[in-house]
Amino acid sequence: MALSQKEIDELINSLIKKDAPEMKPQIAKPRLRVYDFKRPDKFSKDHIRGAQLLFDNFSRQLTSHFSALFRMAIHAGVSSIDQVTYQEFTSELTNPCCVGIVNWGDLPSNMLVSLGMRIVLPMLDRLCGGTGNPAAVNRSLTEIELAMSRRIAQTVVDIFRDTLRESRIDARDLVISAMEVNPLFVQQALPPNDMVLSATVGIRFGSHTGTIMFCLPYTLLEPVLPAFSASRWFSRGKGPEDKGGADAVAEALEDVEVPLSVRLGHAVLSVEDLLSLEEGDIIDLAMPKDGYATVYVFGKPKFIARIGRIGGRLAARIVGVTEDGEEDVTP
């Protein structure tokens, strides 16, 4: 019995299907990302990196300033930079707390600076002449202590302002308008679902450790947010400020005094001739009447000049520049 070509093909295909494993169709799974509309991302990763660099500089300046202020070894470093809701930020405040409300010029919102009670009380004890080791590290502040803590918070804010200005960010005037010791009053400053940039700086004060927390609402930073870009930190060209700084340096250099001397000629004398010199003797400098003198700047030959007089004073007129520091050069 002869099979047709079509029957042969069908037989081969049937054998292949039996031997081949069963292949399930591949279904592309969609890449889904959970998005919480109550926590919209207001700050990009670039802004977070820029804020990290900013607070790194702030921590270094705070370490230097506080070590001199309290006359003891203090270390500060960035613990975390993150975007959270305002409710999440206030939930981390202790009761009692020490929070300064900061006005940032004419920007539409306020910045918060929270000083941890575990370091505020040692700082106050140190400022009052103590060793920086108070009996209690978590208690309410007295009126006097609250006024002193306000000065500490204003110092922190001033250092932060200087850091902003060094980074060419419009710092304007940062002034503490009020101090709060009750977290319930702080919670009423902003809507709970507003996004804020939370920066935590850890501080080691002697044997005590604590934190200084910054709350920067998005509504506050929105006008200056482009300046927080990390790429801006690494691509600083010569802007107007740089040009102005160069002009200031050039203007300051104009008043620098430079030693200048003119050598008419030279002569070689023996010790015997030198000891026999008397008043009225003439030393031949081997200098022709129409020759040139060399002008020295910082002891090095720079110019050639003709010697003459202006009124009753000797003078030298620059007529050329020396080549490669050589002295015997004609114009």
Instruction: List, for residues 261-320, the tens digit of each pLDDT value.
Output: 888 777 888 888 888 888 888 888 777 767 788 888 888 888 888 888 888 888 888 888
Q: Report which secondary-structure segment, H or E, holds 185.
A: helix 183-187
Domain with CATH 2.30.330.10 in the chain: 258-267+284-331
What's the fold here for domain 258-267+284-331?
A: Surface presentation of antigens (SPOA) (2.30.330)
CA 64 vs CA 18, 61, 76, 256: distances in Å: 79, 5, 9, 32
Q: What CATH homologous superfamily does 45-234 map to?
A: CheC-like (3.40.1550.10)
| Mean pLDDT in residue range 21-47 | 64
Q: How many CA atoms lie within 13 A of 61 on its CB side?
A: 18
Backbone φ, ψ for residue 163 (5° rounding): -65, -40
CA 293 vs CA 34, 37, 118, 188, 257: distances in Å: 84, 83, 75, 82, 22
Domain with CATH 3.40.1550.10 in the chain: 45-234
CA 70 vs CA 160, 186, 228, 275: distances in Å: 18, 29, 31, 67
Instruction: List, for residues 186-229, the tens digit of each pLDDT value.
Output: 877 788 888 899 999 999 988 889 999 999 998 888 888 887 77
Bridge-based pairing of strands 110-115 and 99-104 is antiparallel
